Amino acid sequence: MLVPVPLHRWRLWRRGYNQAGLLARELERLGLGELCVDALARRRHTPALGGLGREQREKVLRGAIVLNRRARERIAGRNVILVDDVLTSGATSDGCVCEVIDAGAASVQIACFARVIDGSGL
C-alpha cells in the first residue's frame, strides 16, 4: 500500500497539490502498490521546518500527524510504502511510520524523491 506524507489542508489548499501524493500516484500507475491517499492527516498546521534541527522538528510535529480511522482496516496486515518528496531529519517520516505501525501494518518502508544531507548533525 502506498501512503503519501500528508499536508495540512490549508497548505494543500494554497499549493493546490501534495508532492508526496503525486509521487505516490505515479508509483501506483507503475504497478508498485495500491494508493491510499487519505490514510494519514496532518491535523494541526505546522510551520515550515526548514532551518530547524531534528529535536526542534520532532517537537513541532509531535501529535500533528494522525491516522484516518477509515484507513485502519485497509492498512492492517499490509506492507506499506510511505512516500515523501524530501527526507531531511526523518521527523515527519517517524511520525507517519508510528501511526501506520499502530494501525497494524506488517511492514513500513520509506520512499523519498530527495534526501537532505548536511554536516549539522541532523
Q: Is there a domain that residue 21 lies in?
A: yes
- Residue 122, domain member (yes or no): no
Residue 49 has pLDDT above 80, yes or no: no
Domain-located, residue 30: yes
120 falls within a domain? no
Residue 121 lies in a domain: no
Q: What is the pLDDT of residues 84-111, one digit of tens each?
A: 988 877 778 888 999 999 999 999 999 9
Return the percentage of the chain with pLDDT > 90, whole number.
51
Q: How many domains does the chain have?
A: 1
Burial letters 47-74, b for 16+ CB under 10 A, else e: eeeeebeeeebbebbeebbbbbeebeeb
CA–CA dist 95, 33 (Å, integer): 22
Do the domain assignments include residue 13? Answer: yes
For residue range 24-48, what is the model confidence (pLDDT) as tens digits?
Answer: 999 999 999 999 999 999 887 775 6
The whole-number pLDDT of residue 40 equals 95
Give the CATH number for residue 59: 3.40.50
Mean pLDDT of all residues belonging to the chain: 86
| Domain that residue 69 falls in | 2-115
